């Protein structure tokens, strides 16, 4: 079920940003959690990190998914510097190669900006992608509803124009596969409402109680990811 979107859309408050200090607790919970009662699956899964993150930050998530039976891959491109024009073409090549290697379409889990990349990859290589799970991914408004909004504004960017351009581009490009969008109302980096789909019926939404930085480690998020990967999402 799609959550109701607030009438006034804002970037995360400073109070929410402070709650990101709890990410360490999310990590500790994840380290101690078990996968025994989670649904198992098979096939290739590619995990894409968020902005300024790398495969190191997704290591726990990838190990947990591997225990569930998946053949799990990190993206292998170092830190995510956010340069879409350079990174997305390499991801498309990687996904197509995994599709050929396994003779199966790839499931993609994308954290934050990684989820935005995952959607672009699926649009360019629909034959190679089975489904996508996004974790706190801002698909509405570009940087406008993130903690980076002030930085962009100081650099002279018009946030409204950036948002309008991003939203128009997103609306004009249909998604070729099911997507599960996992979001957190306590997210201090990306406003939760920017993770909610406005345009495509193939997206389902699920809430986690994790922080943004702890989202890929939180046991509840892991359960939601595992369930999404074994259940066809509904809009």
Would you say residue 92 lies in a domain?
yes
Would you say residue 8 lies in a domain?
no
Q: Are the C-beta atoms of 179 and 208 separated by less than 8 Å?
A: no
Burial zone of 67 (CB within 10 Å; 0-12 exposed, 13-18 middle, 19+ buried):
middle
Domain with 217 in it? 14-230
Number of structural domains the chain divides into: 1
Would you say residue 95 lies in a domain?
yes
Angle at Cα 121 formed by Cα 27 and Cα 133, nearest 5°? 35
Would you say residue 108 lies in a domain?
yes
d(CA 181, CA 131): 11
Asked if pLDDT for residue 4 goes beyond 90, the answer is no
- pTM of the predicted model as reported, rounded to 2 decimal places: 0.93
pLDDT tens by residue, 61-90: 999 999 999 999 999 999 998 888 999 999
pLDDT of residue 121: 97
Would you say residue 9 lies in a domain?
no
For the chain, what is the mean pLDDT? Answer: 92
In the predicted model, what is the mean pLDDT of residues 203-227? 95
Share of the chain above pLDDT 70, in %: 97
Asked if pLDDT for residue 16 goes beyond 90, the answer is no
Would you say residue 217 lies in a domain?
yes
pLDDT of residue 232: 57
pLDDT of residue 6: 78
Would you say residue 207 lies in a domain?
yes
CATH code of residue 113: 3.40.50.1820
Would you say residue 6 lies in a domain?
no
Residue 9: band (very low, low, confident or very high) from pLDDT cuts 50, 70, 90: confident
d(CA 12, CA 190): 6
d(CA 147, CA 145): 7
d(CA 187, CA 138): 11
pLDDT of residue 152: 82
């Amino acid at each position: 079920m799609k959550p109701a979107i607030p009438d006034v859309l804002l970037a995360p408050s400073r109070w929410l940003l402070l709650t990101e200090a709890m990410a360490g607790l999310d990590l500790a919970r994840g380290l101690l959690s078990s996968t025994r009662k989670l649904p198992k699956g098979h096939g290739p899964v590619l995990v894409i990190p968020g902005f300024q993150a790398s495969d190191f930050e997704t290591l726990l998530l990838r190990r947990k998914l591997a225990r569930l039976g998946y053949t799990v891959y990190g993206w292998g491109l170092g830190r995510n510097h956010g340069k879409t024009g350079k990174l997305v073409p390499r991801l498309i090549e990687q996904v197509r190669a995994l599709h050929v290697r396994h003779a199966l379409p790839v499931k993609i889990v994308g954290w934050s900006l990684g989820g935005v990349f995952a959607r672009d990859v699926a649009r360019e290589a629909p034959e190679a992608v089975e489904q996508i799970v996004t974790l706190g991914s801002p698909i509405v408004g570009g940087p406008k509803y993130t903690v980076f909004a002030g930085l962009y504004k100081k650099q002279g960017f018009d946030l409204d124009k950036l948002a309008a351009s991003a939203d128009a581009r997103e609306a004009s490009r249909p998604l070729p596969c099911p997507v599960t969008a996992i979001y957190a109302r306590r997210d201090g980096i990306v406003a939760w409402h920017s993770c909610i789909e406005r345009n495509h019926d193939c997206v389902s939404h699920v809430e986690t109680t994790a922080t943004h930085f702890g989202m890929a480690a939180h046991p509840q998020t892991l359960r939601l990811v595992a369930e999404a990967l074994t259940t066809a999402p509904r809009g």
